[in-house]
Chains A and B, each alone.
Chain A
Amino acid sequence: AQKITQTQPGMFVQEKEAVTLDCTYDTSDPSYGLFWYKQPSSGEMIFLIYQGSYDQQNATEGRYSLNFQKARKSANLVISASQLGDSAMYFCAMRDFLVNFGNEKLTFGTGTRLTIIP
């Protein structure tokens, strides 16, 4: 079964510093996708970045990058030069593509609450 683990319930980071949010996963599927979402206090889930299991390079989107270590089954989110607006809950999620083909289910972790300190 799919499982996502986020071991950091909360983090405090000084503004302009880089921050790494941890995510480990477990799946038996050789083909899968990993996603990071940001949830500010308003509640909306904002898609940040995607990494496919067969992607050769780590995904990057602006200040967001994904440190994908397949052998360790980890997909940590790195935010460079953090800003006050980065304060939010961050969720890691995954989808199996083969084992659960046709099942659109995203499995989410429990999230990390990131607080940026001015």
Chain B
Amino acid sequence: SQTIHQWPATLVQPVGSPLSLECTVEGTSNPNLYWYRQAAGRGLQLLFYSVGIGQISSEVPQNLSASRPQDRQFILSSKKLLLSDSGFYLCAWSRAGGRETQYFGPGTRLLVL
């Protein structure tokens, strides 16, 4: 069966510091990978998605970037965090194809102070 991992689970960072959140998937090959952000009390907003190694699509312009150095690894980064970057970050995967369900990881709670 497939599993998706995210770390860290919780992170408190000062404004202006760098960020690196990691997501890995097990039990599948060539998955589509996604990064979502959820602000407090809100729905999810897609930030990035990737259909293959080195292929990143960005949904919204922002202070963040994403990379996919390996088939089942997806990284969310920032060079300098802003207060507005605080939120709950969820990674998801789906099988390649147009109509597949997305399955989410446990998430990372980020607080920027």
Residues on A close to B: CB < 8 A?
4, 33, 35, 37, 42-47, 50, 52, 91, 93, 95, 97, 101-106, 108-111
Contacts and interface: CB of A to CB of B under 8 A. Distances in A.
Given A42-B106, A43-B88, A104-B34, A109 B98 contact: no
A110 B48 CA distance: 20
By secondary structure, the B interface counts as: strand
B105 interface: yes
B42 A43 contact: no
Contacts of A33: 99
Interface of B: 32, 34, 42-46, 49, 51, 57, 59, 88, 90, 92, 94, 98-99, 101-107, 109
Contact of B98 (A45, A50, A101): A101
A42 B9 CA distance: 11
- Residue from the set B49, B90, B101, B105 with the largest chain A CB neighbour count within 10 Å: B101
B46 A105 contact: yes
Contact of A44 (B42, B49, B57, B107): B107
A56 to B, nearest CB: 16
Contacts of B43: 4, 91, 108-111
Given A43-B88, A47-B101, A110-B42, A104 B94 contact: yes
